[in-house]
Amino acid sequence: MIKEVHSLNENMQLMMEQFILGKQDRFGRSSEKMEDRYQIHFMKVDGKIVFFNEAEAVCDLEAAEPDDLETKPSKSKKQAGKKDKDISRLTIHVIPHYITEEELIAEFGENGWKQLPDAISRQYRFVPAKVEVSEHHIGVYSSKTDT
């Protein structure tokens, strides 16, 4: 029993060493090496000691500023008719919503109404693997006596 416990302890020690070495390899100082060995050091500039290569100390203050520090993205104008062009490739199901003539006569009286251009409302429907457009044509009516 003692030999077995001893061998298990040795195995655990080996695993712990491998774990620690793995952490050191991943997060240790060797993974954060700087490519420029002169990046951080003490310098003497104009008789003063400068720490850590401060940009203000080592830059040329007499150099001209660049014209464009940042390039601004160009804004393109919206294309007129792009939405209709995109919809033209999709399947459109027209769903009419009109009032019957009897209901119109009851509401406005005989020859008391006129039909205006339809109000069109589009609703996108996603059917797996394809997109369709449901186009609702809604009848719009007004009284002839109203102005």
Burial class (CB in 10 A: 0-12, 13-18, 19+), 133: middle
Q: What is the pLDDT of residues 111-147, one digit of tens each?
A: 888 889 999 888 888 778 778 888 889 888 888 886 5
Residue 43 domain flag = no
**Domain interval for residue 20:** 1-32
Residue 86 domain flag = yes
Type of residue numbered 52: F
Sign of the dihedral defined by the CA atoms of residues 27, 28, 29, 35, in that order: negative
For 12-73, the DSSP string reads: HHHHHHHHHHHHHHHHSGGGG--S-TTSS--EEETTEEESTT-HHHHS-TTSPPPS-SSPPP
Residue 58 domain flag = no
Q: What is the pLDDT of residues 97-119, one digit of tens each?
A: 999 989 988 988 888 888 899 99
Helix (H, G, I), strand (E, B) or coil at 142: strand
Residue 45 domain flag = no
Q: Give the model's pLDDT for residue 33.
A: 59
Asked if 23 and 15 touch (Cβ cutoff 8 Å), the reply is: no
Residue 104 domain flag = yes
Type of residue numbered 103: E
Residue 139 domain flag = yes
Asked if 10 and 18 touch (Cβ cutoff 8 Å), the reply is: no
Q: What is the pTM of this model?
A: 0.36
Q: Give the model's pLDDT for residue 8.
A: 93
Domain count within the chain: 2
Residue 133 domain flag = yes
pLDDT above 60 (res 84): yes
Residue 50 domain flag = no
β-partners of residue 127 are 130
